[in-house]
Structure formats: C-alpha cells, structure tokens
Amino acid sequence: MFNFLKRKKIKETTLDIQFGAFYATKTKDGYEIIRLLDLPGDSYHYQIIGSALPNLPTVEELEKIKPFILHIPMDIAAIIDKNFQYVGHRKLTQADLAGYKYYLKEMGADEKAVRDHARQLIRLSNEAPDRMRIYQDQDGVFGEHLETIDYSAKM
C-alpha cells in the first residue's frame, strides 16, 4: 500500500515554465540561451537563440538575435540536467513557431491541428509562468506544479 510514497528520486530540478520564455544555462564556453516553445508531456520543444555567449544577455538583447536553430525536440528528462535559469519572456508569435509547426506537420499533424495548437501556444505564452518541480525516479519523469509566479512586479 502507498508504494508511490517510497519512490526514490534520481534527479530533480525546479524551473519556472512559460511558453516564450528565454532560459540560460552556463557551459564551459559561456551561456547557451534557449526559448521554450512547448512542453507536451514527455518532451520539450525549444529554439537555440545563442551559444557560447560571454555574458548573460537581457531580454531586449535576446530579441535582436535571430534563433540559431528554429526547433529542437528533446526528451523531458534532459531538462533536469540543464540547470536552466529563467532570463525573461516575450509572447510567442506565429513566426516564432515556424520551425515547430513544420515539425508537427512532418510528424503527421494536419494543418488545422497545427494552426489551432500554435494559436493556443501564443495565448498561453501571455500567461504568468508556473514554478514546477520536475523529477525523475525509477518509473519515469514527472512534474509537480508548485505555484504561479508574478514576474510583473520584478520587471
């Protein structure tokens, strides 16, 4: 009974999740910046905005950089190892989602489903981020909502 209480967590992280948000991770060569496009369960989809940046850029500086790679799908377990730092956010646009929409079509999604999903992501990208605890145990990767964050007071 209650075996789920005995689960041993292998790895975990806490991250503020927001579609359209920029995240930084420190590497030996500088900062890598990604932009979150979607988080549909067992994967996350993002753009690489820059890599090996010597300093952590501001959102205003990031807006001037064209994405290096328009879309990358990644297993959600990889998000735990990245130690992402929330940098800031800008609402997604149809142009921001071009690479992801192409991917969805190539994966077999019909045009209407892709269009509807893109509209939903754009709408959701205007909402406040959710602080999530993401952890991995012997059964897989799981997320737990901790709180909704109001960054507007800080910006």
Note down the domain range covering 36: 7-145
**DSSP 3-state assignment of 2?**
coil
Cα–Cα distances in angstroms (integers) from residue 153 to residues 121, 124, 149, in the given order = 24, 19, 10
Q: What is the pLDDT of residue 62?
A: 93
Can you say how many angstroms the Cα of residue 80 is from the centroid of all Cα atoms in its chain? 12
Q: What is the pLDDT of residue 106?
A: 96
pLDDT in tens, 91-132: 999 999 999 999 999 999 999 999 999 999 999 999 999 988
H-helix or E-strand spanning residue 120? helix 111-124
In a domain, 68, yes or no: yes
In a domain, 96, yes or no: yes
In a domain, 155, yes or no: no
In a domain, 2, yes or no: no
Q: What is the pLDDT of residue 7?
A: 60
Q: What is the pLDDT of residue 81?
A: 79
- Which residues sit opposite 24 in a β-bridge? 33, 85
pLDDT in tens, 43-54: 899 999 999 999
In a domain, 152, yes or no: no
In a domain, 31, yes or no: yes
Structure-block tokens of residue 94: 């149809």
Q: How many separate domains does the chain show?
A: 1
State yes or no: pLDDT of 16 exceeds 80. Answer: yes
In a domain, 133, yes or no: yes
H-helix or E-strand spanning residue 86? strand 85-89
Q: What percent of the chain has pLDDT over 90?
A: 62
